[in-house]
Amino acid sequence: MKFSLPFLLLVLLSNIAFSQDCTLEDASGCACEDESDECYLLPNIVLSNDIMQDTALRPEFPGVLRISASTPNIGHGPLRVIPTNTFICGTDTLYTPIDECPDGSFPKQLIKQRIYIKTGDEMTYEERDAGFMTYHGGLDHSHMHVDDWNYYTMRIEIPNEPNPLNWPIIGEQTKMGFCLADIDNCEERPGDCRNEDGTILNADNIPNFGLGGGNYDCESDNQGMSVGYTDIYFYNLDGMLITLPNGTCNGKYKLVMEVDPLNQILEENENDNIQMVDVELTKQTNPDEFSGTVFIAGAGQVIGCDGEGVDLSVPRIGSKYEWSNGETGYMINVTEPGFYNCVIQTPCGEAISNTILVTAEVCETECIDIKLGVYLEGAYEPEDDEMRTNLNTDRKLLPGQRPPGEGEPVTPTGQPYTIAPWNYDGLEGFDFDEDTYAEDVVDWVLVSFRDSTTSDTEIAKTAALLLKDGEVEFINTCALPLELGIDSVYIVIEHRNHMGIMSREHVRIEGEALSYDFRIQNSYQGPSGSGSGQVFIEYENEDDDENGEEGGGGEEQAGIWAMFAGDGDQAADNQSYEISGFDKIIWFNDNGKFNLYLPSDYNLDGDVSSPDKIFWDRNNGVSSRVPK
């Protein structure tokens, strides 16, 4: 066979062209992604879906799913990381090599990514910050790892939510650091290396295959991944797992892996770093064995005076979390003392946590000294000029007390305004019992302070004890801290079956003290004075005229002012407080009940009977102008 000279020259030139080198020293044979002659030769790190699919490489055990991950580089340039002499210990930055921080932890070492640049036949590079590496001990490692290289999560898929990173996580999110090394390559493990279309990649279709040398290892100054090579961490290595909490339901989930989740490495494609596969758990909790009960972690903590609060959490086993304070994460930070619980929606059904109490330290705070006085009509006895204490001293019906006699129900502990319409969740009285109350305690009242007349200007609120002489005893002795910077307030007092009242005007705070006495003056009656305010009760002893109020004819009447009795169904009150047919209904339904702490007991003697209806009959139609 004969060949012409031009044909032989063409073959010779072609062979020379394809034999050109592509190395870190010679860019003549290197290809650019855009087929130009000048470019950055960037890596492109992906995750192997094939390894994730292999059930033999992700064995399941009770409470644990072991996992394997392969992160091939299918870009046009190698991934090369270079350690620097910048070290981080906590908040301190050091510029000399150290092996250990002062607290005994390992320092973080700043690394740079070396990016190779092709300019014709010449190969150069530049470097950029690319995160940190940290020493990772243990039998499986004992070398430097690039921090946060992979994130592994088990998730519940949400229909119509395309981003898997927004799906609820089950169990603990694993953040895994890798030492970046050429463990294997796409020629030997072709299934590990695929492009976004799923095409298997190998030496034949990966441009610049082997660029980097194929010899990167776990030495801190020789870490990286050559083009067409992969780093592999199998399930038997330390850290290659997802912890599944007790109560995790058997069933179908998504295993989601993300490489370089913090985008610290500059790559050709930043949008192909996530892979996910279906996983069916079979060694966790069967739905028919699901107890529906979980326990809050963090019980017993006390909120300190630093304002940081305390962390509470429930097992991460569901798609939705509803805490009693309205929070919706599996972990919350609480800065207010109170009772907390959580309801979780899981694949096995609804789970309900235990209820725990979080308390707070008593912090040194300068507070306003508050002195208030108020009477309740239903309990007031004019002949003694004081209120009866039957609920406390005779019947033992106040919250936390135990009534005498067997089988009598105990009133739940804590102030009574946690229910509607008040919904106040203060902890006052949470630990009270029959021995806590002084003999002169009548009942609980709810006191709030407003900047203006309307409830949306409320500054503070607290439950307090009302004594038989009308003095208000504050359990929370710092209901109004000085640091609030207020100089005057409207004062509102509510009771569970008496009509709410408010001071007639702003009450000034003078000398770090606030004082107001509703017993000697009527309450707020609205801008036009059309509201009922309080009831005036004349003294039975006409000679006792220390207190009084100007009557319509200019004469001073001897007596006291008291909150109207009979407003037992305040959930039915609309814009303000009023005594109406709804309050008679609850009396009618409870009539004949004895030895109970009920809102229909208008005279506060422990029984619901005809004397209570007398107050309703007398006050029916009375209405306030105090905005609710």
φ, ψ for residue 69, nearest 5 deg: -145, 140
> Which pLDDT score is estimated for 462?
98
H or E element: which one contains 558?
strand 556-562
- Could you name the CATH architecture of 290-360? Sandwich (2.60)
> Which pLDDT score is estimated for 250?
97
> Which pLDDT score is estimated for 129?
95
Percentage of the chain with pLDDT > 90?
81
DSSP string, 132-161: EEEEE-STT--EEEEEEEEEEEEE---TT-
- CB of 69 closer than 8 Å to CB of 47: yes
pLDDT tens track for 422-479: 999 898 999 898 889 999 999 999 999 999 999 999 999 999 999 999 999 999 999 9
- CB of 206 closer than 8 Å to CB of 48: no
Whether pLDDT at 170 is above 50: yes
CATH 2.60.40.10 residue window(s) in the chain:
290-360
Label residue 362 by pLDDT band (50, 70, 90): confident
Average pLDDT over residues 217-221: 91
- CB of 507 closer than 8 Å to CB of 491: yes
DSSP 3-state of 484:
helix
DSSP 3-state of 255:
strand
Average pLDDT over residues 305-325: 93
Average pLDDT over residues 110-119: 97
The more confidently predicted of residues 543 and 554 is 543
> Which pLDDT score is estimated for 17?
37
Whether pLDDT at 19 is above 60: no
> Which pLDDT score is estimated for 36?
96
Q: What number of other Cβ atoms are within 10 A of residue 266's Cβ?
A: 16
How far are the Cα atoms of 86, 103, 388 from residue 94, in angstroms, in the given order? Answer: 6, 15, 73
Label residue 541 by pLDDT band (50, 70, 90): low
Q: What number of other Cβ atoms are within 10 A of residue 157's Cβ?
A: 15
- CB of 260 closer than 8 Å to CB of 273: yes
Question: In terms of C-beta density within 10 A (0-12 exposed, 13-18 middle, 19 or more buried), how is residue 97 classed?
Answer: exposed
φ, ψ for residue 9, nearest 5 deg: -65, -40
Q: Which of these, 438, 508, 509, lies nearest to 475 by C-alpha position? A: 438
- Quickly list H helices, 37-129: 49-53
Label residue 410 by pLDDT band (50, 70, 90): confident
Average pLDDT over residues 88-117: 93
Q: What residues pair up with 465 in beta bridges, in sequence order?
A: 444, 473
> Which pLDDT score is estimated for 528?
87
> Which pLDDT score is estimated for 141?
61
> Which pLDDT score is estimated for 557?
66
Average pLDDT over residues 316-342: 95
d(CA 137, CA 238): 10
- CB of 544 closer than 8 Å to CB of 558: yes
How far are the Cα atoms of 313, 426, 566 from residue 305, in angstroms, in the given order? Answer: 21, 18, 42
Give the predicted TM-score (pTM) of the model. 0.70
Percentage of the chain with pLDDT > 70?
93
> Which pLDDT score is estimated for 409?
81
d(CA 269, CA 259): 12
Q: How many residues does the structure list for the chain?
A: 628
d(CA 449, CA 458): 6
pLDDT tens track for 45-84: 999 999 999 999 999 999 999 999 999 999 999 999 999 9
Question: Side chain identity at 308, as an amino acid letter?
Answer: E
Token pair listed for 286: 């069967």
Token pair listed for 524: 């707020």
Q: What is the mean pLDDT of the chain?
A: 91
Average pLDDT over residues 333-339: 91
Average pLDDT over residues 347-365: 91
d(CA 169, CA 154): 6
Q: Which of these, 81, 69, 139, lies nearest to 110 by C-alpha position? A: 81
DSSP 3-state of 581:
helix
Average pLDDT over residues 121-139: 89
Label residue 248 by pLDDT band (50, 70, 90): very high
H or E element: which one contains 276?
strand 274-281
d(CA 559, CA 546): 8
383-389: long-range pairs with CB below 8 Å, 24+: 383/540, 383/541, 385/539, 385/544, 385/560, 386/468, 386/469, 386/470, 387/442, 387/466, 387/468, 387/469, 387/470, 387/604, 388/442, 388/468, 388/604, 388/605, 389/439, 389/440, 389/441, 389/442, 389/468
Question: Side chain identity at 395, as an amino acid letter?
Answer: R
d(CA 515, CA 608): 35
Label residue 208 by pLDDT band (50, 70, 90): very high
> Which pLDDT score is estimated for 8?
34
> Which pLDDT score is estimated for 388?
97
Average pLDDT over residues 125-149: 84
